[in-house]
Structure 1
Amino acid sequence: MAGQLPTVHNHDHLAEAVLTAGNRGLVLVIAAIALAALGVAVMLLRQVLAAGEGTESMKKIATAIQEGANAYLARQLRTLGVFAVVVFFLLMLLPADDMNQRIGRSLFFLVGAAFSAATGYIGMWLAVRSNVRVAAAAREATAPEGETPRDLTEVSHRAMKIAFRTGGVVGMFTVGLGLFGAACVVLVYAADAPKVLEGFGLGAALIAMFMRVGGGIFTKAADVGADLVGKVEKGIPEDDPRNAATIADNVGDNVGDCAGMAADLFESYAVVLVASLILGTVAFGDAGLAFPLIVPAIGVITAVIGVFVVSPRRSDRSGMTAINRGFFVSAAISLVLVAVAAYTYLPSTFAELDGITNAEIAQHDGDPRLIALVAVAIGIVLAALIQQLTGYFTETTRKPVKEVGKSSLTGPATVVLAGVSLGLESAVYTALLIGFSVYGAFLLGGTSIMLALFAVALAGTGLLTTVGVIVAMDTFGPVSDNAQGIAEMSGDVKGEGAQVLTDLDAVGNTTKAITKGIAIATAVLAAAALFGSYRDAFETAAREVGAAATEVNLSLDIAQPNNLVGLILGAAVVFLFSGLAINAVSRSAGAVVYEVRRQFREHPGIMDYTEKPEYGRVVDICTKDALRELTTPGLLAVMAPIAVGFTLGVGALAAFLAGAICTGILMAVFLANSGGAWDNAKKMVEDGHYGGKGSEAHAATVIGDTVGDPFKDTAGPAINPLLKVMNLVALLIAPAIVTLSYGADASVPVRTAVAVVAVSVIVGAVYFSKRRGVEMGEDDGDDEGSVSKSTQPSDPVAAP
């Protein structure tokens, strides 16, 4: 592989792939299935909204959360809309085979961005309406005096069903919009579909990354600030209405976890399909435009089954048992249906595949049906294994979290150390699972690199068959968390009803950690498949300009100094990105701490309920900081590949991507699992272990949870879209780098100018980011100290 470009017998393989009449009909059916998923989502939505909303106090709190979440997301989407328009025109300048591809790529960039934003917004919109309904369902466990309370198990199951079906709505929209968008591109553009889908994937990935980073900064700034002042300094409960940061904390759960994760998994869906279709036209000819869509279409069907299977039973040990059942039933049915599809749709030999232009693949002696099935099975099994592995390291009933909880007896330092060591260890096992899965899929290709890379992409589509249930699992977490917050702030859910919500919240912490692990695996498989697409793109461009494989900048040999530097830079970007995200939370959380302290200091009546906190001021601080701070990580993700590629060449850019993928796996899992373990260790102590609430052990676990908040909900999850954005940017600029290096239009000054601009943007963004201090939260009359009417929620809590 090093320094040698493989022989491809037909250089125009993408242009020669066609959409036959039979395939067109099949893709139409797939598009119909995608629309059916949206229909199921509407049905589930109606079921959720039909549930009761509880007391007037609960409704007022829920309305305040809704107002804050809507205001933040509206401002964020307006900001991102301007950015999307700029990228639209920049994409028009990048090379393409013809103007039709350029226009389609730019148009579907906007479609991908709009679908990603819509998925995130829908997730937030329903979550902020479902949370009060879950709290109201739990309240039925405590009947008014003189009335018989409802069966506790029945109440718990009802509350859980509402929360999970809320996630089911978001899951159906995620798979429905993702599959429908890809199917439309294939129907409209046929042979040009893979190139046009690059824009679709980039739009989805960019918006998801910004929503992930911005939402993560918002939610964790509020959460950390609320915990440090409320729990640690004032000794009041987590969602006590006297804490001015509580509304912002609950708003953050929705704009960070619900909107951010929904957009994140939608772009994973889109990006895996992009890579699958690009590589599929090489490996499977005409069938490569349809089969990668068949697999996620099956996932839509099984996701519907999985959501309805999650119906708690009396025999279940916990809510996690019901969720696991839905996940594994969905995965098993997917595997069976994929086997049926592969052996029905694909021929038994590669020679029988229509449109194969690569002679090496056409002469492959394997069975395409078996290769496709095994590749997809690898992805499905990987999802199941990561689900179990992540659960082991983050569930409250498992040994690792119990050990973190026990370490609280010796103070916060040992809690932090225990959580860090757990995260580091779990990252190794997850990375090994993903690495072996990628290698196993790669081996299916035999001597053909492109077939092997397509197998990796198919493994990604296999993992996608579980995405509908995964999104449901993830949304379940913040909905349960918010429900507990509304219950505590209103004071209307007590006794056994409050315990129901506490148990659901603990299950939600585990499901969030599990879905982050699976999202990371999806990101890595997508990035690995995109790496293959990138390789194909620059090799094709090199042949078109007649560049020799011996050119240093075209070599993938890691012994080349420029490639080694690229590898190091790729790893470094992941560290810098994570550091920027965590530092952004630290600064914003500091501003929240000052503001909450100021309110307690200047309004002493807050503690005895004679004065009300100014919730809107904290929401405004978090909104402004989140929108300001997301710029630097976003620019880093877009500009770093440009700087490396135009400075060191496409070989170094390939090494850059490899370094980012490898480091990103370990960093993302480490951050997610450490944070999840700290959070559940805190829950375990609050349930009465090691002294319970108010003890020194509790204070120690609160510190651990505070450290883990930006780990698991800001930096860790944002690495997923980071990897895919960088891969897609590299894929798009590779032909331009080759042309400016070796083509008739080769120009060192132009390459240098582009590289200098990219490096300058990165340096400037980081410099100005580091110059920002912590806002003291004082109302000095300037704009930073004022509360925007657009983000100030209505007064939600009346003093008791």
Structure 2
Amino acid sequence: MNSNLVYLVPLMGLVGLLYTLWKFSWVSKQDAGTDRMREIAQYIAEGAMAFLRAEWRILTYFGIIVAALLGFMGSRSEESHWSIAVAFILGAFFSALAGYIGMRAATKANVRTAQAARTSLSKALQVSFTGGAVMGMGVAGLAVLGLGGLFIVLIKFFAPDALATAKEVTRAIEVLTGFSLGAESIALFARVGGGIYTKAADVGADLVGKVEAGIPEDDPRNPATIADNVGDNVGDVAGMGADLFGSYVATVLATIVLGHEVTDSNGAALNDTFNGYAPILLPMLIAGVGILFSIIGTFFVRISDSAGISTSVVQRALNLGNWGSIVLTAIASYLLCIFILPEGNMYLRSFEFTRGDVFGAIVVGLVVGTLMSIITEFYTAMGKRPVMSIVRQSGTGHATNVIGGLAVGMESTFLPILVLAAGIWGSYELAGLYGVAIAAAGMMATTAMQLAIDAFGPIADNAGGIAEMSELPKDVREKTDTLDAVGNTTAATGKGFAIASAALTALALFAAYVGVINANGLEMDGINIYKADVLASLFVGGMIPFIFSSLAIRAVGEAAMAMVEEVRRQFREIPGIMEGKGRPEYDKCVAISTEASIKKMMLPGAIAIISPIIIGFLLGPEALGGFLAGATVSGVLMGMFQNNAGGAWDNAKKSFEKGVDINGQKYFKGSDPHKASVTGDTVGDPFKDTSGPSMNILIKLMSIVSLVIAPTLAGIYAGENNSGAEAANTKQERSIATKTPVATSGTAVMYK
């Protein structure tokens, strides 16, 4: 293998981290505003850190137990190694670190965005987006550095002189799956725990503060408002950072696993200049150049100081940065395919393709990602037909608002699924299963930019809360609300992008799972749903996203009930609180959200990890394949439905804050239709920020767990099959010796 080229991968990750440090330093130097603003920002930062410490304490015990089990399984398998436990711990640590970097950047940028909004919308966008860029580049940089660096170490250790088709490389890649398992495990708990935290506080603050007491959002008299702002960081920033870190790693890993199976026409290693490693190196290098061009894309996100306060102006600036990074990455991917992949035909499980076909699959992935973002923006953006339909239905009450939001969410699955299906079909026709995987890698290449755009929204939301609690002029809140409205749309498009990439990645991981099963002596060409155990597992898998969502939404509801009671108690018992003279007990609400999220994140997370293990060992590898198929289809649909419904409800509510026309009459904040929209937004909160975005982690995590246990499953069931075959042969020999007829699969009877 050309060692110089592979070292470029972690080097590009380091470039991303250096950019992160540079921009973090720039954000820290910006003006943090008045003493009151600094005080509120400090409350938010301390609350966020308190949650992370409590979460990490629990997840440390989980990590130790899982690492010990993985080490035990790896030491007993010829296809794995005890060091898979070390890879798992590294993946978990990097995932937690990615979330921490994002949270630190956000809690620095929020108050500075509020202060910048006192100057201009341009300056506020610059500060909030730079805070998001710190998170985006940090997450991508850690992922590429961790995965690329660990790949080099494992290859040097297990297969220093081997060709890419050698058994030693298979072992190295199996150990590498532990890194992805660690990343996805932490991501799931961070996303679910953070989602429960933020939505419990948000729902409690909205129901009592805005609906019952009639006070503005983020009013300092509301005891839940600090917890609500803390939740924006631990859920929408730290949770999201760990989420996309895991997605990024899983996508590249799936392509590496399938790239390892790519051969020439004789089944031998490719005749390239990298000892047959070209299909393995390609996804890592695409991820690396994606970081570089995402950094370039950040310089396109600018608006002039003279620009009006308009969501369209901000959205256009973000789109320019996003599309710029996508186009540049596509050009670089073409050059990488020409430079790295060999001329002539390549093969994966008898499917023939060329390097031109591989580039075509990458383009398909980029197109699918772009279309998913456009479609999601249409269904969730203010002023568009879906959101306006919810606005109009708010005019007739709370129930019709909820009905309208559910209808929009269900409708919103139609076009994305068609685009996704076309992408799967197109990428497969071009380059087989490797094409599907590399399409997902192409889609995720600009994750750093996607995450920067996604993360700036919660920062702007926090900035608005700080402005409200600090009693800054109304024009400051108007600017932060403009950024927040765009942030709601970009958050929804980011979730649509993530669920689409998750579907492609889960399909690639399933293909990798089948390959590992077959490589370990058990032939499995596909899933036969005519088998009772496979069909039963298909339905069980389809049920998992529903029960997972139920647990997550119920956790939000129960925690929100406790929050509502606490806020009501403080309004009732603290003298002068409504007059602004009494001091709310913010810490009590922060404690309720923290305790509820830590307790209630464990069961959904355990289901995601344990269910594929139970199905696999109880019913076998093929039944587990059926389980994964059912969970993937159901999870993708549930994720799209919940993300888009929640995003549309949220922006329907924000439409009233700017004023909307219903049947010739103008309605604003505080009107009855606005109160109905608050109810819809409250219903949609756990949809879009807890259970919905967890779907993409859920389906990938179950696929990765299956990939990790695949060698053990294959060994167990291959042994049973061999024993069964030997028993059948012995029975047949005994029957022949005694001239006893033996029935065959037909109606004939065989004698000696």
Name the structure 1 match of 2:288: 297
> What are the equivalent positions in structure 2 for 1:374-523 lying under 5 Å apart?
374-445=360-431, 452-492=432-472, 494-523=473-502
- Which shifted more, 297-306 or 251-260? 297-306
Return the alpha-carbon distance in structure 1 between the equivalents of residues 391 and 574 of structure 2. 36
| Alignment-mate amino acid for residue 725 of structure 1 | L
Is the aligned partner of 1:721 residue 2:721?
A: no
> How large is the Cα RMSD of the aligned pairs?
1.8
- Which shifted more, 342-351 or 467-476? 342-351
Q: Choose which of 316, 320, 324 in structure 1 pairs with 2:315.
A: 320
Return the alpha-carbon distance in structure 1 between the equivalents of residues 551 and 480 of structure 2. 34
State the shift of 1:490 in Å.
Answer: 0.9
> What are the equivalent positions in structure 2 for 1:222-233 lying under 5 Å apart?
222-233=201-212
State the shift of 1:185 in Å.
Answer: 2.2
Inter-CA distance 253–746: structure 2 relative to 1 (3 Å threshold): farther
* Unpaired segments ≥5 residues, structure 2: 156-168, 264-275, 661-665, 725-752
Residues 474-511 of structure 1 deviation map (CA, whole Å, 9 limit, x = unaligned): 1111001000000001102x132221111111011111
Inter-CA distance 135–555: structure 2 relative to 1 (3 Å threshold): closer
Return the alpha-carbon distance in structure 1 between the equivalents of residues 230 and 379 of structure 2. 28
Return the alpha-carbon distance in structure 1 between the equivalents of residues 528 and 121 of structure 2. 58
State the shift of 1:617 in Å.
Answer: 0.3
Return the alpha-carbon distance in structure 2 between the equivalents of residues 195 and 278 of structure 1. 8
1:215–1:255 CA contact under 8 A, matched in 2: yes
State the shift of 1:127 in Å.
Answer: 0.4
Return the alpha-carbon distance in structure 2 between the equivalents of residues 99 and 565 of structure 1. 32
Residues 635-677 of structure 1 deviation map (CA, whole Å, 9 limit, x = unaligned): 1001111121122221111011011111111100110010001
Q: Choose which of 537, 544, 550 in structure 2 pairs with 1:579.
A: 550
> What are the equivalent positions in structure 2 for 1:11-410 lying under 5 Å apart?
20=1, 22=2, 24-95=3-74, 101-140=80-119, 155-190=120-155, 191=169, 192-283=171-262, 285-313=276-304, 317-350=312-345, 360=350, 364=352, 366-367=353-354, 369-410=355-396
Q: What TM-score do the two structures reach when normalised by structure 1?
A: 0.84
2:502–2:696 CA contact under 8 A, matched in 1: yes
2:75–2:82 CA contact under 8 A, matched in 1: no
State the shift of 1:99 in Å.
Answer: 7.2
Is the aligned partner of 1:596 residue 2:579?
A: no
Name the structure 1 match of 2:678: 702
Determine helix, strand or coil for the equivalent of 2:482.
Answer: helix
State the shift of 1:97 in Å.
Answer: 8.6
| Alignment-mate amino acid for residue 618 of structure 2 | T
| Alignment-mate amino acid for residue 384 of structure 2 | R
> What are the equivalent positions in structure 2 for 1:674-689 lying under 5 Å apart?
674-689=645-660
| Alignment-mate amino acid for residue 423 of structure 1 | G
| Alignment-mate amino acid for residue 437 of structure 2 | A
Q: What TM-score do the two structures reach when normalised by structure 2?
A: 0.89
Determine helix, strand or coil for the equivalent of 2:205.
Answer: helix
State the shift of 1:341 in Å.
Answer: 1.3
Is the aligned partner of 1:635 residue 2:611?
A: no
State the shift of 1:76 in Å.
Answer: 0.3
Return the alpha-carbon distance in structure 1 between the equivalents of residues 149 and 697 of structure 2. 23
Return the alpha-carbon distance in structure 2 between the equivalents of residues 523 and 100 of structure 1. 27
Inter-CA distance 414–541: structure 2 relative to 1 (3 Å threshold): same
2:174–2:708 CA contact under 8 A, matched in 1: no
| Alignment-mate amino acid for residue 608 of structure 1 | E
Residues 526-579 of structure 1 deviation map (CA, whole Å, 9 limit, x = unaligned): 111100011111122234xxxx66xxxx86211111111111011100100001
2:47–2:227 CA contact under 8 A, matched in 1: yes
1:416–1:704 CA contact under 8 A, matched in 2: yes
Return the alpha-carbon distance in structure 2 between the equivalents of residues 498 and 457 of structure 1. 44
Q: Choose which of 732, 735, 743 in structure 1 pairs with 2:711.
A: 735
Residues 664-692 of structure 1 deviation map (CA, whole Å, 9 limit, x = unaligned): 11100110010001100100001122421
Return the alpha-carbon distance in structure 1 between the equivalents of residues 41 and 404 of structure 2. 36
State the shift of 1:288 in Å.
Answer: 2.3
* Unpaired segments ≥5 residues, structure 1: 1-19, 141-154, 446-451, 749-800
State the shift of 1:734 in Å.
Answer: 2.4
- Which shifted more, 677-686 or 341-350? 341-350
State the shift of 1:106 in Å.
Answer: 1.2
Return the alpha-carbon distance in structure 2 between the equivalents of residues 625 and 98 of structure 1. 40
State the shift of 1:108 in Å.
Answer: 1.0
**Same amino acid, percent of matched pairs:** 42
State the shift of 1:393 in Å.
Answer: 0.7
Residues 22-52 of structure 1 deviation map (CA, whole Å, 9 limit, x = unaligned): 2x21111121111011101111111211211
Residues 4-31 of structure 1 deviation map (CA, whole Å, 9 limit, x = unaligned): xxxxxxxxxxxxxxxx1x2x21111121
Inter-CA distance 746–632: structure 2 relative to 1 (3 Å threshold): farther
Determine helix, strand or coil for the equivalent of 2:582.
Answer: coil
2:642–2:688 CA contact under 8 A, matched in 1: yes
Return the alpha-carbon distance in structure 2 between the equivalents of residues 741 and 528 of structure 1. 23
State the shift of 1:453 in Å.
Answer: 1.3
Determine helix, strand or coil for the equivalent of 1:613.
Answer: coil
Determine helix, strand or coil for the equivalent of 1:103.
Answer: coil
State the shift of 1:604 in Å.
Answer: 4.1
Return the alpha-carbon distance in structure 1 between the equivalents of residues 463 and 587 of structure 2. 20
Return the alpha-carbon distance in structure 1 between the equivalents of residues 476 and 349 of structure 2. 66
Return the alpha-carbon distance in structure 2 between the equivalents of residues 98 and 480 of structure 1. 50
1:49–1:129 CA contact under 8 A, matched in 2: yes
Determine helix, strand or coil for the equivalent of 1:89.
Answer: helix
Residues 364-394 of structure 1 deviation map (CA, whole Å, 9 limit, x = unaligned): 3x42x21210111111111111111111111
State the shift of 1:193 in Å.
Answer: 3.4
| Alignment-mate amino acid for residue 663 of structure 1 | S
2:551–2:604 CA contact under 8 A, matched in 1: yes
Inter-CA distance 431–97: structure 2 relative to 1 (3 Å threshold): farther
Name the structure 2 match of 1:789: none
Is the aligned partner of 1:693 residue 2:669?
A: yes
Aligned length: 689
Residues 82-132 of structure 1 deviation map (CA, whole Å, 9 limit, x = unaligned): 100111011012257967942332111111100100000111111011100
- Which shifted more, 178-187 or 99-108? 99-108
State the shift of 1:163 in Å.
Answer: 0.6
Is the aligned partner of 1:654 residue 2:625?
A: yes
Determine helix, strand or coil for the equivalent of 1:309.
Answer: coil
| Alignment-mate amino acid for residue 50 of structure 1 | K
Return the alpha-carbon distance in structure 2 between the equivalents of residues 536 and 677 of structure 1. 41
State the shift of 1:307 in Å.
Answer: 1.3
- Which shifted more, 264-273 or 88-97? 88-97
State the shift of 1:397 in Å.
Answer: 2.4
